[in-house]
Amino acid sequence: MPLTLSLAILLGSSRGAADPLSGVAPVFTPDFSQGPVVFDFEDGLQGWSTSGSAERVQTQRLGGHWAISGDGEADPATEIWQWVDLSEVGVISFDQLLDEGTGAHGASLRFFAGFQLLPAIIIRLELPVELPDPIGNPSLRTVDVSQQRQRAPISISWAAGDPDPPALSGLVDNVTFHPLPEPSPAWLVGAGLAVALIRRRPGPSIYSVLSSSGGIHGIRARIRLSESAGRRP
């Protein structure tokens, strides 16, 4: 999927939450102390906001669990969004369940991350959505956000105002934030060896000075020669 830029100007189109571009929307900071952070929508929207036809529904198609449903026919764009601190986030994944006849298994929802240009204007960058398991319905989608490293409004969109891809109708569930990977052990060992070598770099010791001068007796002999040379007429 090619990267695309879009200019979004929001004029109170979201429902039940602060305007994502107003600067007053709360910022979610993932806490990875217990592992990846999962939004399964069983306890409400859990901080997410909706626009267009996106809504939280309970469906037997997912075994009676709650998920976010939407179709791309509405204007404004159908999406869920939230301000997130992405500084420690590596990958975002989510499950997608498409209705029959809306793009089959090759289609996907669209994922955007943005930054605030002006109080009411945000620049949104569409990030590639990977399909690690393209077979099956629902199927897993992942987005690499490891280069974002900032607070940003992110959104999963069923439509983005253009016909490519076509509007989708389906569900999204289990939006999961995964932490950045820890530095590899090999990198840590290499860094430790470099520090150890720098600290152990030898400098001139008192032993090496005495050895190069013939020991303490050599130093005394040189002092006597210097004094004798100073007394010559």
H or E element in which residue 229 lies: helix 215-231
* Domain count within the chain: 2
Confidence of residue 206 (pLDDT cuts 50, 70, 90): very low
Whole-number percent of the chain with pLDDT over 90: 30
Backbone angles phi, psi at 180, to 5 degrees: -60, 145
pLDDT of residue 104: 45
Tokens encoding 171? 């569900």
Instruction: Say yes or no: 16 and 67 in one domain.
Output: yes
Instruction: Say yes or no: 160 and 213 in one domain.
Output: no
Range of the domain at 200: 185-231
Instruction: Say yes or no: 198 and 160 in one domain.
Output: no
pLDDT of residue 88: 95
CA distance 204 to 102: 77
Cα 118-92-79 angle, rounded to 5 deg: 55
Tokens encoding 6? 């879009």
Instruction: Say yes or no: 125 and 201 in one domain.
Output: no
Residue pLDDT, tens place only, 151-190: 889 999 886 555 555 667 889 999 999 999 887 665 555 5
Instruction: Say yes or no: 220 and 117 in one domain.
Output: no
Instruction: Say yes or no: 166 and 202 in one domain.
Output: no
Instruction: Say yes or no: 166 and 53 in one domain.
Output: yes
pLDDT of residue 6: 42
- 161 within 8 A of 99, measured Cβ to Cβ: no
Q: Please say which residue of 150, 179, 208 terminates a domain.
A: 179
Instruction: Say yes or no: 93 and 145 in one domain.
Output: yes
Instruction: Say yes or no: 205 and 138 in one domain.
Output: no
Residue pLDDT, tens place only, 56-99: 999 998 889 999 998 876 567 788 999 999 999 999 999 988 77
Instruction: Say yes or no: 117 and 227 in one domain.
Output: no
Residue pLDDT, tens place only, 43-63: 999 999 998 889 999 999 888
Q: Please say which residue of 148, 163, 179 terminates a domain.
A: 179
Confidence of residue 110 (pLDDT cuts 50, 70, 90): confident
pLDDT of residue 207: 43
Instruction: Say yes or no: 96 and 155 in one domain.
Output: yes
- Where residue 10 sits, what CATH number does that domain have? 2.60.120.260
Mean per-residue pLDDT for 135-142? 79
H or E element in which residue 211 lies: helix 206-212
Instruction: Say yes or no: 127 and 148 in one domain.
Output: yes
**Residue 32: exposed, middle, or buried by beta-carbon count in 10 A (0-12, 13-18, 19+)?**
middle
Q: Please say which residue of 142, 164, 179 terminates a domain.
A: 179
